[in-house]
Structure 1
Amino acid sequence: MDKFNFNREEMTLLAKKNLANSIYNSARLENVIVSPSQIENIIEGKSIAELDSGDLQIILNLCNAWSFLLNHLDDKMSLDFACNVNNLVSFNESLDWGKLRYGDVGINGVNFQPSIPVKKEVQIEINNILSLDATITHKAIMYMLYGMRNQLFWDGNKRTSIFCANKLLIEHGKGLITIPEKHISEFHPLLSHYYETNEGDEIYHFIYNKCLYA
């Protein structure tokens, strides 16, 4: 079932209100050493000299991706939308940002190796998820898990998948997914288990119960 029920305008305002916290949590998920106040300053366009340039790039990319998301809620959720998000999330970070992966990748800490994604098959799978006889919340989490495990892009797959899930949620007023810093240590082993086994029940309930906010 859906955990929250708002209209789009209300949900968009809530997403904007929680923007700094969402960016902070996403940055910490990527092991970026940053404080909430530094995130606030970056959002406001202030210079942060003490941040590593690579870490700053991740945060600026997150800011740009959020701007795109909130301004494109009317766009159809599709592979093209996911590519546009990844283009912003992984700018100057990956081998070829914004494009479907065309070579092999490994995932740190697990033996599972995702196959090279085929555009037509990815499009079908996304359509299948969106066509489920299920709540928007369920579809959003299922897409998020699918995007993460299949590593559709060269880099930024967790961030891209969360953004795409949030597009669905915010568009329909169903809340906002963010992995709180206090739960990151719990999230990683659940994600690794999901990668290895493709058994998603445990991480699904973790996301629903601990990472879905309004």
Structure 2
Amino acid sequence: ILENRAVSGMKASDIQKILNLKHAWEFILDPDVIQFPSTLSLLSVLAAMINEGFYINGGEIRSVPVSIHGSAYIPPLPIKSVVLESISEIIEAEKPVIEKAIDLLLYCMKTQIFIDGNKRAVVIFANHLLLSQACGLLTVPEEKVDRFKTLLIEYYEGRDTESIRSLLKEYCWQTVD
């Protein structure tokens, strides 16, 4: 897909999601964009790119209820001023950049700011922050995906907020020496 070759046995929507991810990654790696601050505006652009071909207003703060597959947690409707303030507080906190990136990741995932594609957009957004500060990348290794999903649901439901942070920092954060 990434090399523009035909792929048999895949749904067109899955191919579109992969291409959207590719475009979003290319976007944040642009030298001008990497220098841009990690803000709700940037996250909204990423969400619009992630949702292209699926939702016309995919980068707008959602105004309808959503549910999260596998979780009893129902995120309340996000309020733009609260989201702006929360993201700013996370970015401006006096803590290491990796801690900020993890806080951004978890806050935005739990808030479910957009109608769809939140996890995909937020992973790229958190990585924008890390890359802009030359602090590595956050990627969930394939062998940790199931554990990550389980811990994320526990985080959403307020049962365990620290285990997912530990997993992200210990197994998902990659630095370049």
Superposed, 1:102-181 pairs within 5 Å as 102-181=63-142
Deviation at 1:127, TM superposition (A): 0.5
Distance 1:89 1:79, change over 3 A: same
Task: Find the residue that maps to 1:159 and give its secondary structure.
Answer: helix
Q: Distance in 1 between matches of 2:145 and 2:27?
A: 25
Picking from 62, 65, 68, the partner of 2:24 is 65
* Percent identity of paired positions between Structure 1 and Structure 2: 31
Greater relative contact order (Cα < 8 A, sep 6+): 1
Aligned residues: 173
Corresponding position of 1:203: 164
Task: Find the residue that maps to 1:167 and give its secondary structure.
Answer: helix
Letter paired with 1:160: A
Q: TM-score, normalised by structure 1?
A: 0.77
Q: Distance in 1 between matches of 2:13 and 2:143?
A: 23
Corresponding position of 1:191: 152
Q: Structure 1: which 5+ runs fail to align?
A: 1-41
Superposed, 1:91-110 pairs within 5 Å as 91-94=52-55, 96-110=57-71
Q: What do you get for the CA RMSD once the two structures are aligned?
A: 1.3
Task: Find the residue that maps to 2:34 and give its secondary structure.
Answer: coil
Task: Find the residue that maps to 2:132 and give its secondary structure.
Answer: helix
Q: Distance in 1 between matches of 2:157 and 2:54?
A: 26
Contact 1:95–1:154 (Cα < 8 Å) also in 2 = no
